[in-house]
Amino acid sequence: MSIVLGIDLATAEARVQAVDAETGAPLAERRQPLTVVGAAARAAGRREQPAVHGRVALDLVAAVVADLGERAREVRALAVTGTSGTVVPVDPAGSPVGDAVLYDDPRGAELLDLLADEGFDKRPRAALARAAWMHAAASHAASSTRYVFTPDLVVAALAGRPLPSDTSHALKSGIDPVAGRWDERALALLGLPVECLPELVAPGRVIGEVQAPVTALLGLPHGVLIVSGMTDGSTGQIATGAVSLGDTVGVLGTTLVLKAVSSVDVVDDVAGVYSHVAPDGLFWPGGASNTGAGVLRHGATAGFEPVSGTTAVADTGPASSVSYPLAGPGERFPVADHSFEGFAVPFDGSTGPGSRPDSVAARVRAVYEGVAFVERFGLERLAALGVEQQRHHLAGGASASGLWNLLRASALGRPVVVAEGAGSARGAAALAASAWSGEPLAEAAERFAGRRHTIDPDPVLTEPLEARYRVFLAALDERTSERTSPRLLSTTSEPKGPSSW
């Protein structure tokens, strides 16, 4: 018997899951919140959090190991997954010397524009611009300071030294994901020495072992392998089993990540589309939107629980407004525009002005539908770029909401597959199992996906959602006409009025 661990560093929470490597059955899980700076910092243009990921992850691993009891001696390997584009300054030992600057922090935007002006606009480079801004602005910036990603903090804490970063977490730094190289021309333009960046390695590779003092501290057996990970969107994809050609997946958590599986590299800077390279060499094109369940933590919907509040939201009926829900300025996919603020326009289904949502449930319904519209538009953008699509899967923490899943299927107008219990920690564990055993990732992913069920569109919902989607496209076209492909926004519907909430 053998056990693998998946360590997931989400925006608001860290979690560790232990999984039986032979059966894919979950055995134990622990989680702990991660602090994100408050409203005042957000208003000042900062999105960061204390870089405690290494300490928190080790505490959670120790708790999971204790829960496993005698079976803890069966732990063989682990992998770490985290948000894409979050950057942390570290010292030569891999310990943080500043806060983690999150993927949606706007600082470094001017450097990103500089890269675009010089022709570096085909692959995503926001994380690289963020690191260059940190290097230039921080008082601790020195030749010994390096800029890494949150999983690297955990890996360094486990191994007792820095290990290579995987190309998946580094992808939004403009790297060549096939060759695993930094773009030295872009680095020279930004004034960021390559020595300040980590070595790169493909995902799903054994990169080290948990060092002896840490194994004793955590209760792990000797020789636990550390496997290079992938971003949380990618490991969420793995957890659904959607790793074969034609598969697509929408991972809905704090944000919405859409991914597909393709035999060719797909990149489009207008849509914010980029391709991860999987351990088996296939490409996973897609993008990460700033919409998602995290929007519900702000404003009138703050504190709403998507699962327990289902009845009230269902009873409101189709939303009286059409929204592209964002918690703040900036979008990455399916429109790449750091100044885009989303929208909410009234809808009444005819010609007059719609009514403003006047209850929390009504506002939540508008967010549910809006996220579903972003998901549909994202899949349409991928299709327009030549990505063939067959089965669409749903994953992420918010996929526990049956109502939201039904709205997503109905907005798409086709069945969706929900992998029960799928999550990024589970996908990271599958990645670790594949590297440890040597089996193809597709086989491990199929086993770890566990139970799945299909949700069909509801004919009662499909027609009103289709009408609202046409308004969504018209409103999006009005606000992003210079950044959005006209062929994807053809519609005769017009927005019914300005944003009202």
Integer Cα distance of 171 and 204 in angstroms: 15
Into how many domains does the chain fold? 2
Using the 3D structure, point to which of 185, 203, 229 is the last residue of a domain. Answer: 229
DSSP 486: G
Segments of the chain scoring below 50 in pLDDT? 350-356, 485-501
For residue 468, which of 254, 318, 287, 362 has the smallest C-alpha distance? 318
Query: Both 191 and 273 in a single domain?
Result: no
- Burial (CB < 10 A; 0-12, 13-18, 19+), residue 351, is exposed
What is the model's pLDDT at position 38? 64
Using the 3D structure, point to which of 195, 229, 263 is the last residue of a domain. Answer: 229
Query: Both 288 and 171 in a single domain?
Result: no
What is the model's pLDDT at position 233? 85
Query: Both 86 and 138 in a single domain?
Result: yes
Residue 80: both structure tokens together: 């770490």
Return the amino acid letter for 224.
Answer: V
Integer Cα distance of 429 and 16 in angstroms: 9
In a domain, 179, yes or no: yes
Query: Both 174 and 323 in a single domain?
Result: no
Q: What CATH number does the domain containing 45 carry?
A: 3.30.420.40
Would you list the DSSP string of 354-365? -PPP-SHHHHHH
Query: Both 115 and 52 in a single domain?
Result: yes
Integer Cα distance of 405 and 401 in angstroms: 6
Query: Both 216 and 278 in a single domain?
Result: no
Query: Both 40 and 154 in a single domain?
Result: yes
pTM metric for this prediction: 0.83
Q: How wide is the angle at C-alpha 385 spanned by C-alphas 381 and 386, nearest 5°?
A: 120
Would you list the DSSP string of 165-214? EETTTTGGGT-BTTTTB--HHHHHHHT--GGGS--EE-TT-EEEE--HHH
Beta bridge partners of 413: none
Query: Both 86 and 113 in a single domain?
Result: yes
Helices and strands of the chain, counted as H and E runs: 14, 21
Query: Both 322 and 282 in a single domain?
Result: yes
Asked whether the beta carbons of 78 and 7 are under 8 A apart, the reply is yes
98-110 residue pLDDT tens: 999 998 888 898 9
What is the model's pLDDT at position 139? 53
Query: Which residues constitute the domain of residue 292?
Result: 241-330+361-426+432-467
List own/partner pairs for 41-49 with CB under 8 A and 24 or more apart: 42/328, 45/105, 45/106, 45/107, 46/105, 46/107, 47/101, 47/102, 47/103, 47/104, 47/105, 47/106, 48/99, 48/100, 48/101, 48/102, 48/105, 49/99, 49/100, 49/102
Integer Cα distance of 222 and 75 in angstroms: 9
- 69: alpha, beta or left? (left if phi > 0; alpha if psi -120 to 50): left
Query: Both 262 and 203 in a single domain?
Result: no
DSSP reduced 3-state for 314: helix
What is the model's pLDDT at position 182? 97
Query: Both 373 and 453 in a single domain?
Result: yes
Residue with tokens 């390695």: 201
Using the 3D structure, point to which of 229, 263, 291 is the last residue of a domain. Answer: 229
